[in-house]
Chains A and B, each alone.
Chain A
């Protein structure tokens, strides 16, 4: 596939350098996490003298990363499940059913897509407080669902638009109610979209720090990313433990990315080009 001949190998050199610059910070952090404090102070760059897991264990137990991880997993799982359920229901209705006001309702979702969280966060905190939802897991889940629902509805609607109407019509003639069509036809057919939207929603919720910081003030309710920010103050003189905590938080995303790279990249572009 040589489309153009200009010294392509020459271009590969700066690109490889940049690839190195992209990966190096993470490699550096992983290396530091394996070092003893003394090793780190003496020489930052040398390879750790052994694969040491003490720092990881310390971060896991004493700092409470285990608890934070558990909080994150629980909140993200619930949020994504709800997002996919509510989002696919709405996506199905907005794309396949004809009813009065459907395009207005779609517009409502579209407008919400352009409202950043920073703009509504003050009133949202007050609404949550009035509902008694501050510092509770359901409250955080609800906030995440509200935050990423416009995106989810939007992508599910455009996916379901591609499903031929004949399929829905045939199912209806067979005597299915719209609910039956949703459950038996649309939900299974939507699996590929549900998977890629679900991965993105999970990533967004997992990576959030602002919403969690605002709505979950107490220490044992922290999500993992807020946990990382709290490391900074506590371990500013113990860099290897700090690095170990950061590593614990980075690894789940790293593993997900290794397996689902294509879906994540494509989904993110689809989301941003259509949004």
Chain B
């Protein structure tokens, strides 16, 4: 080992380390400590220690997260059933595009994109109100965040009761002369219903992120707006939105990722993909193909497509961050 020579730059591995050179003072102190106190047999242990400490985490992450990603992409070019293991080129991807259920899933992703501004605007507006110290703002914050900690399964089960065709919501609407609407049974309505429940359950997350952003906003600007007699709408448009552009972009991206990856529980318990396959999302399609249809290779192709969609969202975030970084 390099320490054996014990000549001045005592730990060349450190100096060349990826973390950049250690400060002279610290490095010297450590080297001195290593030289004077440690028995020579301990040096090997000493050098290995960081690797031993990191090993379990890295091993688990590489074997159970990164390796499956490569395996999955590889899988998606092989066949299912009797063609198991043979290379089939792009056949799975062709099957995907011809499958009305997957096309429906992609259409629903488009619907998510359309509803995204609403999912961002609601918590943004509420955070503004809370920031303006509406009476009871602390209480509101606590209440609004609560559904975000409930499992989608519980949320879905509760809304199954509320939204049943002969359920309470239709009873209330019937009382004022509307409906009844078949919230979960009408193919034109069901997906919008599920997304609305998802927004109900998660707007508290975005709200808290917005509030963290407000904490960085310059209060003097708001005071100036008030002195100039600006209305609430004007203040939001000219002071708050420009001041929070980074936070807003961030919420857009995290909300989109949330809609793409955490609606399985809701879909599973509320509609199971129905009626008429109208409430499929890529994640639900993957689950059906893997768990129910026994078509893992096709499911892998769908996974790869979902990963590409997420990659686009992620890269969009990166470029937005870079752009806002430049203007600041």
Cα A101 to Cα B18 with chains together (Å): 6
How many Å from the CB of B244 to the closest CB on chain A? 13
Q: Which of B106-114, B177-185, B186-194, B205-213 lies at the binding interface?
A: B205-213
Given contacts A12-B136, A173-B29, contact A210 B265 (CB under 8 A): yes
Q: Indicate if B306 sits at the interface (CB-CB under 8 A).
A: yes
How many Å from the CB of B137 to the closest CB on chain A? 8
Which residue of B has the minimal Cβ distance to A101? B18
Q: Indicate if A136 sits at the interface (CB-CB under 8 A).
A: no
Interface residue ranges, A against B (CB under 8 Å): 1-6, 8-9, 11-12, 15-16, 18-19, 21-23, 25-26, 28-29, 32, 44-45, 86-87, 89-90, 92-94, 97-105, 108-109, 111-112, 114-127, 142-143, 145-146, 149-150, 153, 165, 169, 172-173, 175, 177-179, 182, 203, 206-210, 213-214, 225, 228-229, 231-232, 239, 242-243, 246, 249-250, 253-254, 256-257, 261, 264-265, 268-269, 272-273
A-side contacts of B134, CB under 8 Å: 8, 11-12, 15
Cα A4 to Cα B217 with chains together (Å): 15
Does B150 lie within 8 Å of A250, measured CB to CB?
yes
Q: Which of B54-62, B93-101, B319-327 lies at the binding interface?
A: B54-62
Residue among B141, B154, B254, B291 with the most chain A CB within 10 A? B154
Given contacts A122-B300, A257-B146, A272-B254, contact A108 B66 (CB under 8 A): yes
Interface residue ranges, B against A (CB under 8 Å): 13-14, 16-19, 22, 26, 29-30, 33, 37-38, 42, 45-47, 49-51, 53-54, 56-58, 60-69, 71-72, 75, 126, 129, 132-136, 139-154, 157-162, 167-168, 171, 200, 205, 208-209, 212, 219, 222-223, 226, 231-232, 235, 250, 254, 257, 260-261, 264-265, 268-269, 282-283, 286-287, 290-291, 296, 299-300, 303-304, 306-307, 310, 314
Pick the residue among B50, B58, B296, B304 that contacts A126 (CB under 8 A).
B296
Given contacts A6-B132, A207-B152, A246-B154, contact A115 B65 (CB under 8 A): yes
Does B64 lie within 8 Å of A127, measured CB to CB?
yes
Pick the residue among A118, A178, A203 that contacts B264 (CB under 8 A).
A118
Does B62 lie within 8 Å of A8, measured CB to CB?
no
Does A209 lie within 8 Å of B151, measured CB to CB?
yes
Show 11 residue pairs from A and B whose CB-CB distance is below 8 angstroms, ordered by the A residue. Answer: A6-B231, A8-B134, A11-B134, A28-B158, A97-B49, A102-B18, A123-B300, A127-B71, A179-B49, A253-B150, A265-B208
How many Å from the CB of A3 to the closest CB on chain B? 6
How many Å from the CB of A213 to the closest CB on chain B? 7
Cα A228 to Cα B286 with chains together (Å): 22
How many Å from the CB of A197 to the closest CB on chain B? 13
A-side contacts of B161, CB under 8 Å: 28-29, 32, 239, 242-243
Does B71 lie within 8 Å of A123, measured CB to CB?
yes
A-side contacts of B205, CB under 8 Å: 268-269, 272
Pick the residue among B50, B153, B212, B260 that contacts A102 (CB under 8 A).
B50
Cα A244 to Cα B91 with chains together (Å): 48
Residue among B54, B75, B205 with the most chain A CB within 10 A? B54
Does A4 lie within 8 Å of B68, measured CB to CB?
no
Does B61 lie within 8 Å of A112, measured CB to CB?
yes
Given contacts A98-B22, A209-B151, contact A229 B65 (CB under 8 A): no
B-side contacts of A26, CB under 8 Å: 158
Given A22-B147, A28-B161, A268-B148, 10 extra CB contacts under 8 A: A8-B133, A98-B19, A108-B58, A118-B287, A122-B72, A123-B300, A127-B63, A210-B283, A268-B205, A273-B212
Main secondary structure of the interface of B (DSSP, over half): helix
Cα A5 to Cα B231 with chains together (Å): 10
Pick the residue among B154, B200, B212, B287 that contacts A269 (CB under 8 A).
B212
A-side contacts of B160, CB under 8 Å: 232
Given contacts A165-B26, A173-B37, contact A3 B132 (CB under 8 A): yes
Pick the residue among A9, A44, A172, A264 that contacts B149 (CB under 8 A).
A264
A-side contacts of B69, CB under 8 Å: 115, 119-120, 123
Cα A208 to Cα B257 with chains together (Å): 17
Cα A21 to Cα B152 with chains together (Å): 17
Cα A25 to Cα B146 with chains together (Å): 12
A-side contacts of B265, CB under 8 Å: 207, 209-210, 225
Cα A41 to Cα B3 with chains together (Å): 81
Does A169 lie within 8 Å of B30, measured CB to CB?
yes
Cα A180 to Cα B124 with chains together (Å): 47
Cα A103 to Cα B54 with chains together (Å): 12
How many Å from the CB of B13 to the closest CB on chain A? 5
B-side contacts of A254, CB under 8 Å: 146
How many Å from the CB of B159 to the closest CB on chain A? 7
